[in-house]
DNA sequence: TTGCTCCTCACGTCACGTGAGGTGGC
DNA sequence: TTGCTCCTCACGTCACGTGAGGTGGC
């Protein structure tokens, strides 16, 4: 039996809430230990400390999940801090709640980036066509 | 008569090659002095020095134009250094010459970014639709 | 004793932004 | 003397990557 399994079983048997090591979360979400520590330094995660060791609750795990979803949506970590720390948002829910303003701004922001990349791609594809034609 | 005009006229009358101050190029290309100095530190530009002052030749100006075009195409400064410093590429031409490999790689790179942004936009627009529906 | 996992600094990366403090010529 | 333009440090920003050197429990 791995120590991972042992700790899950132990928590279950004693009715303790489940906790995760930094390695557990890193593996599950495909991020580095460094990233998790960095999110903590930025105030996005606040794991329990036992000496120097970190222990993450299932609420920490939920927050991490929201942080990574918000990152996929293109928000910066300081924007994400505001989003996941908002006291008006439901605590235990994994879904990200954005205000109408946040939505519109982010959509506009990404649309600008999209346009820049599309313009670059158009130019590069034109250059490729020229290369093929010259061959 | 501005000193700018005076220097243009003076160069013309004496048949000296035109030179530009850092402020000239910054204004013309809409970049900061800091950016131009940074490109120099990275080995992308090598203006003539007269004491501490910088003087840019028209070849420097052409290089700057290529640097900024390559930036629009999404290349990093170290990639751009390789592109504009390639001895096989025509010296005085403003057009950027990319190898087939460079083209394909950059197109693939931008297509990945495009897909990520499109996925994020799709999600955000879905959230907006939900917001409107709930109102 | 060896591995494995975890820890804390702390410098590096990317492309500059942003002062601070000073100089030179009109 | 005042403005304007230019200069050189040098730290700050963003989101971590990457060692170095050490610890704790199986």
Which among A100, A124, A128 has CB closest to B73? Answer: A124
CA of A75 to C1' of D22 (A): 36
Instruction: Answer with the residue of higher pLDDT: B17 or B58.
Output: B58
* Shortest CA distance from B135: residue in chain A: A100
Mean pLDDT confidence for B109-125:
98
Task: Give the pLDDT confidence of B45-62 residue by residue, as tens digits.
Answer: 999 999 999 999 999 999
Sheet of A53-57: strands edge to edge? Answer: A19-20, A53-57, A48-50
Task: Report the distance from CA of residue A23 to the C1' of nucleotide C6 in Å, as an integer.
Answer: 9
- Which member of B72, B98, B113 has the closest CB to residue A127? B98
Residues 6+ apart with CB under 8 A from A90: A97
Identify which of B48, B68, B69 has the alpha carbon closest to the alpha carbon of residue B58. B48
A57-96: burial string, b at 16+ Cβ within 10 Å, e else: eeebbebbbbbebbeebbbeeebbbebbeeeeeeeeeeeb
Q: Of A23-37, A50-64, A83-97, B105-119, which range is least confident?
A: A83-97
Instruction: Judge: B117–A74 Cβ closer than 8 Å, yes or no.
Output: yes
Cβ <8 Å between B103 and A128: yes
For the segment A12-35, the average pLDDT, to the nearest whole number, is: 89
**Closest-CA residue to B40 (of B71, B17, B67, B70):** B67
pLDDT in tens, B66-96: 999 999 999 999 999 999 987 776 666 778 9
Q: Please report residues of A whose CB lies closer than 8 A to that of B100.
A: 128, 131
Q: Is the pLDDT of residue A1 over 50?
A: no
* % of chain B exceeding 70 in pLDDT: 84
Give dist(CA B81, CA B52) in Å, integer: 24
Sequence-ordered strand ranges (E) for chain B: 48-50, 53-55
Q: Tell me whether residues B103 and A131 touch, CB distance under 8 A.
A: yes
Please tell me the predicted confidence (pLDDT) of residue B1. Answer: 45
Contact between A74 and A110 under an 8 Å Cβ cutoff? The reply is: yes
**Cα–Cα dist B57/A120, whole Å:** 28
Residues 6+ apart with CB under 8 A from A129: none
Residues B25-36: what's their mean pLDDT?
A: 98
Which strand (E) or helix (H) includes residue A50? strand A48-50
Mean pLDDT of B25-42: 97
Least confident piece of the model among A2-6, A78-82, B101-105: A2-6
Spatial separation of the C-alpha atoms in residues A12 and A14, rounded to whole Å: 6
């Amino acid at each position: 039996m791995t120590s991972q399994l042992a700790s899950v079983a132990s928590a279950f048997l004693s009715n303790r809430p489940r906790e995760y090591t930094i390695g557990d979360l890193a593996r599950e979400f495909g991020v580095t230990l460094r990233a998790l520590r960095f999110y903590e330094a930025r105030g996005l995660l606040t794991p329990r400390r036992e000496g120097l060791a970190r222990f993450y609750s299932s609420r920490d795990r939920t927050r991490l999940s929201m942080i990574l979803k918000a990152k996929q949506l293109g928000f910066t970590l300081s924007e994400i801090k505001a989003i996941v720390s908002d006291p008006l948002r439901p605590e235990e829910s994994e879904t990200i709640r954005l205000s109408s303003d946040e939505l519109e701004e982010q959509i506009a922001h990404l649309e600008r980036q999209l346009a820049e990349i599309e313009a670059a791609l158009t130019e590069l594809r034109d250059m490729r066509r020229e290369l093929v034609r010259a061959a």
